């Protein structure tokens, strides 16, 4: 009995020692937990930007566990923690960006930066508040605007004075501007003030965030590109380049119990992309779609029940049009479990942002947006990933590959250009038009058909099909139609087929048609664009 007692005591001592080792290791990883708690509250606050931006703690933890497993190992604890944090921060950025509208992606990246900086103590709340509000409610320093500074508005001067109170580093800003008006006016009048060095010793003495505050006072119109540069300098360039739309990647992260939700924007329709993806996965004949609306709820419920047993897919389109049925949909989704549903079943949904959409579905679903990305380069890259352009059979299968690839690049450039012009309101188009991926798809297929079926490239037929039927079919304003045809004529002309010299798509020569190559060579050329 004594031997047994001694053995038990030895085991207790060993267990206590093991527990102390575990506690020590856990405490070593505590900074990682603190860091990622900051990130969780960051994504939780995104619901204030749009009610569809909802994410569950369970999803967050699962993503964190994958980052622990996927991050680079290291013997040094500090290095290991850094690897986990870096891997998880970017994984979180990629996954969240997939469900954000384009206008909110830079906001999210900036929020990540500032929250991490604030948690580390390198950013004061008053400074962050000033950048967001211009210091509204902050007392102004009693410094009147000097004579001869009429180029500086009273609003800008007031913000400078409030900035001086918000940040000790900017306390001398109003006086410095008053003493050196010519140097500061150079910044004010600059085409790119966000890259200009501030006068005197100000530039070197300020942090990048404090320079943002100064720019907000002088040139608020340039704060967005400055924030983009700030994020790139703080977290890396990749945090300013959201990942392209990837339906396959979203599908891999789903399960029979986690729905996939497309959050729609005006003019976007992912149905064609989903049907093409279903066909590629062998579900072309096993996907049932229903457009939601009054009286469609029972039909949708019956489709879901049948698909859960058969292991097929269901697409519920425009769920925002059936707000009264959303509680029933929530109960259906809560009842779907891996043990009572075929593993191949998938529930796909599309919806415009709606406060009536159940939060539990938003938090438990894989969310996606399918908007044209911001910028010509990102838009072009997305076009080259779309079906059928991203298909090797389509891209390499034309009988005249040189002409086809050159004209296809020109078509993608036109597509990106007409979409980018929408962002400029009535300056871009007199009437806003919903140019979408369907216009590009049909135009690309017609392009290949016309080239395959004719000895020479039929430019007139191509311009008519694209400018009058596909894209032009949406245009109702005469001047907009003339603009569209002018843009098309600049791209679709015989000179684009001349391989002796690069064909310029812009007067600056920044955008040119790349030399003939495989699909990867065109992506590489796009990555080199500004």
- Residue 19 belongs to domain with CATH number: 1.10.8
Average pLDDT of the segment spanning 201-220: 90
Domain assignment present for 115? no
**The domain boundary residue, chosen from 240, 266, 291:** 240
Cα 438 to its chain centre, rounded Å, is 21
Domain assignment present for 419? yes
Same-domain status, 351 and 380: no
Same-domain status, 221 and 279: no
Same-domain status, 332 and 380: no
Q: Are 187 and 173 in contact (CB under 8 A)?
A: no
| Integer Cα distance of 491 and 495 in angstroms | 9
Model pLDDT, residue 412: 94
- Residue 334 belongs to domain with CATH number: 3.40.50.300
For 493, residues 6+ apart whose C-beta sits below 8 A from its C-beta are: 459
User: Taking all residues of the chain, what is their mean pLDDT, rounded to a whole number?
Assistant: 89
* Short-list 231, 233, 238, CA closest to 115: 231
Model pLDDT, residue 20: 78
Same-domain status, 286 and 195: no
Same-domain status, 318 and 195: no
Which of 16-20, 44-48, 209-213 has the lowest average pLDDT?
A: 16-20
Count of CA atoms in the C-beta half-sphere (13 A) of 77: 9
Same-domain status, 275 and 363: yes
Burial profile 89-100: b = 16 or more Cβ within 10 angstroms, e = fewer: bbbbbbbbbbbb
Same-domain status, 300 and 392: no
Q: What angle do CA 313, 56, 241 make, to 5 degrees?
A: 80
Cα 221 to its chain centre, rounded Å, is 22
Q: Are 213 and 169 in contact (CB under 8 A)?
A: no
| Integer Cα distance of 275 and 263 in angstroms | 17
Domain assignment present for 250? no
Q: Is the pLDDT of residue 217 over 80?
A: yes
| Integer Cα distance of 230 and 215 in angstroms | 12
Model pLDDT, residue 19: 81
Which of 103-107, 167-171, 359-363 has the lowest average pLDDT?
A: 167-171
Model pLDDT, residue 332: 95
**The domain boundary residue, chosen from 323, 345, 369:** 369
Model pLDDT, residue 96: 95
Same-domain status, 346 and 385: no
Model confidence pLDDT, tens digit, residues 91-113: 999 999 999 998 899 999 999 99
Which of 244-253, 332-341, 408-417 has the lowest average pLDDT?
A: 244-253
Share of the chain above pLDDT 90, in %: 59
Domain assignment present for 2? no
Average pLDDT of the segment spanning 316-328: 94
φ, ψ (nearest 5 deg) of residue 99? -105, 5
Same-domain status, 156 and 231: yes
Tokens (6 digits) for 197: 């060095």
Q: Are 211 and 198 in contact (CB under 8 A)?
A: yes
φ, ψ (nearest 5 deg) of residue 227? -65, -40
Tokens (6 digits) for 91: 């994984």
| Integer Cα distance of 385 and 39 in angstroms | 30
- The DSSP secondary-structure symbol of 242 reads P
Model pLDDT, residue 267: 66
Cα 356 to its chain centre, rounded Å, is 24
Same-domain status, 327 and 420: no
137 pLDDT band, cuts 50/70/90, is: low
- Residue 398 belongs to domain with CATH number: 1.10.8.720
Domain assignment present for 199? yes
Model pLDDT, residue 366: 93
Same-domain status, 168 and 288: no
Tokens (6 digits) for 342: 């075929």
Helix (H, G, I), strand (E, B) or coil at 201: coil
Same-domain status, 80 and 164: no
Q: At what angle do helices 30-44 and 2-28 cross, to 10 degrees?
A: 50
Model pLDDT, residue 479: 94
Tokens (6 digits) for 329: 């949909």
For 221, residues 6+ apart whose C-beta sits below 8 A from its C-beta are: none
Q: Is the pLDDT of residue 16 over 90?
A: no
Which of 27-31, 138-142, 340-344 has the lowest average pLDDT?
A: 138-142
Tokens (6 digits) for 203: 């530039």
Domain assignment present for 482? yes
Domain assignment present for 389? yes
Share of the chain above pLDDT 70, in %: 98
Which of 15-19, 170-174, 342-346, 435-439 has the lowest average pLDDT?
A: 15-19
Task: Print the domain residue range for 269.
Answer: 255-369
Sign of the CA dihedral running 382, 383, 384, 386: positive
Number of structural domains in the chain? 4
Element (H, E) at 43: helix 30-44
Q: Is the pLDDT of residue 142 over 70?
A: no
Domain assignment present for 437? yes
| Integer Cα distance of 430 and 153 in angstroms | 32
Query: How buried is residue 510: exposed, middle or buried, by Cβ count under 10 Å (0-12/13-18/19+)?
Result: exposed
């Amino acid at each position: 009995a004594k031997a047994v007692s001694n053995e038990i005591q030895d085991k207790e001592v060993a267990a206590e020692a093991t527990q102390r080792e575990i506690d020590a290791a856990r405490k070593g990883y505590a900074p990682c937990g603190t860091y990622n708690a900051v990130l969780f509250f960051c994504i939780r606050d995104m619901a204030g930007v749009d009610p569809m931006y909802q994410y569950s703690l369970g999803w967050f933890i699962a993503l964190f566990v994958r980052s622990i497993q996927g991050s680079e190992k290291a013997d040094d604890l500090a290095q290991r923690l850094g690897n986990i944090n870096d891997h998880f921060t970017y994984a979180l950025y990629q996954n969240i960006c997939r469900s954000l509208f384009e206008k909110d992606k830079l906001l999210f990246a900036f929020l990540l930066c500032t929250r991490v900086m604030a948690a580390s103590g390198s950013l004061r709340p008053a400074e962050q508040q000033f950048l967001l509000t211009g210091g509204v409610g902050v007392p102004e320093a009693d410094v009147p605007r000097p004579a001869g500074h009429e180029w500086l508005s009273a609003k800008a001067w007031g913000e400078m004075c409030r900035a001086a109170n918000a940040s000790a580093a900017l306390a001398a800003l109003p006086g410095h501007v008053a003493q050196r008006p010519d140097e500061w006016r150079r910044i004010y009048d600059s085409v790119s003030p966000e890259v200009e060095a501030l006068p005197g010793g100000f530039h070197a003495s300020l942090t990048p965030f404090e320079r943002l505050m100064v720019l907000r006072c002088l040139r608020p119109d340039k704060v967005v590109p400055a924030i983009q540069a700030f994020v790139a300098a703080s977290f890396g360039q990749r945090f300013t380049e959201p990942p392209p739309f990837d339906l396959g990647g979203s599908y891999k992260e789903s399960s029979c119990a986690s729905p996939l939700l497309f959050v729609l924007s005006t003019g976007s329709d992912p149905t064609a992309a989903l049907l093409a993806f279903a066909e590629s996965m062998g579900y072309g004949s096993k996907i049932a779609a229903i457009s939601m609306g009054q009286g469609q709820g029972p039909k949708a419920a019956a489709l879901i029940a049948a698909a859960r047993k058969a292991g097929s897919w269901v697409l519920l389109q425009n769920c925002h049009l059936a707000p009264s049925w959303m509680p029933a949909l929530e109960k259906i989704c809560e009842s779907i479990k891996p043990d009572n549903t075929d593993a191949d079943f998938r529930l796909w949904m599309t919806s415009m942002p709606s406060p009536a959409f159940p939060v539990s579905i938003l938090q438990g679903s894989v969310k996606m947006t399918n908007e044209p990305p911001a910028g010509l380069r990102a838009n072009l890259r997305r076009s080259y990933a779309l079906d059928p352009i991203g298909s090797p059979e389509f891209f390499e299968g034309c009988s005249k590959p040189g002409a086809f690839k050159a004209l296809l690049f020109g078509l993608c450039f036109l597509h990106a250009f007409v979409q980018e012009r929408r962002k400029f309101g009535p300056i871009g188009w007199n009437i806003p038009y919903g140019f979408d991926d369907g216009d590009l798809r049909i135009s690309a297929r017609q392009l290949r058909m016309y080239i395959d079926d004719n000895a020479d490239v039929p430019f007139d037929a191509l311009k008519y099909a694209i400018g009058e039927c596909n894209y032009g079919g949406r245009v109702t304003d005469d001047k907009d139609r003339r603009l569209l045809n002018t843009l098309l004529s600049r791209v679709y002309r015989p000179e684009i087929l001349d391989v002796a010299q690069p064909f310029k798509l812009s007067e600056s020569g920044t955008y040119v048609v790349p030399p003939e190559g495989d699909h990867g060579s065109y992506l590489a050329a796009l990555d080199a664009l500004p």
